[in-house]
Structure 1
Amino acid sequence: MGDARVVVVTGASGGIGRATARLFGARGAKVALLARGETGLEAASEEVCAAGGEALPIPTDVADFEQVRAAAERTEAVLGPIDVWVNVAFSSIFAEFTDIDPAEFKRTTEVTYLGFVYGTKAALERMLPRDHGTIVQTGSALAKRGIPLQSAYCGAKHAVQGFHESLRTELLHRGGNVRVTMVHMPAVNTPQFDWVASQLPEQAQPVPPIYQPEVAARALAYAADHPERREYWVGGSTVATLLANRVIPGLLDRYLARTGFKSQQTGRPRDPHQPANLWRPADGKDGRDYGAHGGFDDRAHDRSVQMWAAQHRGVLAMAAGAVLGAAGAGLLRRPV
């Protein structure tokens, strides 16, 4: 079935944003792709068109509200009214907090938090007068549970969580047909570990278990189709982490203090010439298209059982009811 919606995806030049734009393209959507890296944007645009969609690449720094607003205006002028806005873009730095320069912390916050705020603002300016539209925020397990070496990113994602909750209550109070939802991701095999600024002695890696970006893309697309839920959790590791943080946060602090440094490094020395996209796009340095996948394909899962369960809660409830019913009938038939 074709998807005629107009969809905006930020951070569309690589990683989760790239996979998400491609998936919407495969559905037949008209997709505006926002990112700074023009090499990645052009490659993503080609993928969206090859998949069957229509693409509009718009070079945009999401940390600049006027650029985001202009991108929204151009999207509607070329593709039509925006139906779905998916905030994905982020940047970060791997380092202990004491080693992060205030300017680096500020820049991470501007991209990873204010970029979501600005995208949401630009979307609502258009959706609310029409009383139609859906905004999907890409969250993370780290929006609810901080870990070492990622204080700037964790702080920004926590801010997105609070912003999302506040905005959702306002939209519920207002009533109408504009929705906002959030999807919390596990560790994902994206190129960020090849381009995020780092002061670590070793090459950075996602904390296992690792999932492919297509898993995240499918979850974001599902959330766009079913925005009535306030949030979705992707991956068993996300569920386990967030539940443990509710029950034993102090113990989890000590566990992460002991394991969190090693688990985020590969054991191989970091390339001192590795690009860093904090201040400028990584593909602007060498003209390389980084694509959607990082360097961990051999360790990454292409399915999330937990997300499947979230999408099939009705079926699972019926199955559970049938099992309980059968068990109850068996008990009734047992001789006293």
Structure 2
Amino acid sequence: MSRNRQKAQVAVITGASAGVGRATARLLARRGIAIALLARGRTGLDAAAEEVRAAGGRALPVEVDMADYDQVVAAGQRIEAELGPIDLWINDAFSSVFAPFLQTRPEEFRRAMEVTYLGYVHGTRVALHHMVPRDRGAIVQVGSALAYRGIPLQATYCGAKHAIVGFTEALRCELMHDRSNVKVTMVHLPALNTPQFDWLLSRLPRHAQPVPPIYEPEVAARAIVAAADRPGRREYWVGASTALTILGNRIAPGLLDRYLARTGYDSQQTDRPADHDRPVNLWRPADGPQGRDYGARGSFGGRAHRHSTQAWLSRHRLVTAAGLTGAAVGVLAWRRH
């Protein structure tokens, strides 16, 4: 494998039982590789494993709480023993709370940070434990536009995603200092139609929703797989909304503060009253042994885009650059005549 382009034979996906992790597992399985599926929910894990096998891959579902470092270490040892050397580790597991910060209890905030932030730290440490001695491998951190721009009602999630960026940047510098061939990259995502809006703890009066534009999780999966193939690139942005959010926050953060203060509450809620009796996955999986399989997609499919032009252009920068260069040459030639 070259430094800039790698093809994994053994991949690990955390948060693989639903949402983006589930969609990514389906896509990688088409390559016929071995995939370790890490999550807490047995029902979702078993269903994800069946999909991987049906697509031509080998599946190893492992029940693990990413907040528990010892469980992650044990999972890594089992994966290496049963599937072989880990080439690719994708960190995607998370949990969170939809609520104003003052309505989020300290123990809930701590638990969400342990799963979402420390889960990435634990996964990365275990991946490096196996990859660094072999001097090869790739780690993909699944991030968000909210890693750079906080929004109201999601202080827990935004805090964790911001922390992941700082941690990953520091780690990348250390790997470069050591001249390691282990690569780490980030993929920052837009609003997605995933089951999180049906199982995250919410204290909102109305049902939570992603802020439009909304994309299907397969859009994210394609970007994550592309990043895994080319982990030498620092980070990937998925969706025009992600690019505009990150760039806009660099240019006019104060303006965004005021805009989100006015619109951020209503835009993250539907007109339906919240169902506070639904399963919540903060402390235990919503798709446990007696739970339902939530799958990759959530309940906003009628409003979700299946493709992103910006994401395609981002993955094919050489083609895009060549096309723009060709267009410029054509314009110049036309003007000369």
Q: TM-score range by the shorter chain?
A: over 0.9
1:70-125 superposed Cα distances (whole Å, 9 cap, x missing partner): 00000010000000000000000000000110000000100000000000000000
42, 45, 57: which is aligned to 1:41? 45
Provide the alpha-carbon RMSD of the alignment: 1.0
1:299-333 superposed Cα distances (whole Å, 9 cap, x missing partner): 11111111110122111211211221122223333
Q: Distance in 1 between matches of 2:315 and 2:147?
A: 22
**Correspondence for 2:79:** 75
Contact 2:41 2:289 in 1 (8 A): no
Residues 309-324 of structure 1 aligned to structure 2 (within 5 Å): 309-324=313-328
Contact 1:32 1:75 in 2 (8 A): yes
162, 170, 180: which is aligned to 1:166? 170
318, 324, 329: which is aligned to 2:333? 329
36, 41, 59: which is aligned to 1:32? 36
Contact 1:89 1:111 in 2 (8 A): yes
TM-score, with normalisation over the residues of structure 2?
0.96
**Correspondence for 2:200:** 196
Partner SS state of residue 17, structure 1: helix
The reply on whether 1:117 has 2:121 as its aligned counterpart is yes
Q: Distance in 1 between matches of 2:171 and 2:180?
A: 14
2, 8, 12: which is aligned to 2:12? 8
Partner SS state of residue 159, structure 1: helix
Which amino acid in 1 is paired with 2:280? A
Q: Could you tell me how far 1:26 is from its partner in structure 2?
A: 1.5
**Correspondence for 2:311:** 307
Which amino acid in 1 is paired with 2:154? Q
TM-score, with normalisation over the residues of structure 1?
0.97
Number of aligned residue pairs: give it.
331
Which amino acid in 2 is paired with 1:67? Q
Q: Distance in 1 between matches of 2:174 and 2:253?
A: 30
Q: Distance in 2 between matches of 1:262 and 1:251?
A: 18
Q: Distance in 2 between matches of 1:262 and 1:245?
A: 21
**Correspondence for 1:281:** 285
**Correspondence for 2:90:** 86
255, 260, 268: which is aligned to 1:256? 260
Partner SS state of residue 284, structure 1: coil
Contact 2:131 2:137 in 1 (8 A): yes
Q: Distance in 2 between matches of 1:328 and 1:202?
A: 56
Contact 1:4 1:28 in 2 (8 A): no
The reply on whether 1:228 has 2:246 as its aligned counterpart is no
Residues 124-143 of structure 1 aligned to structure 2 (within 5 Å): 124-143=128-147
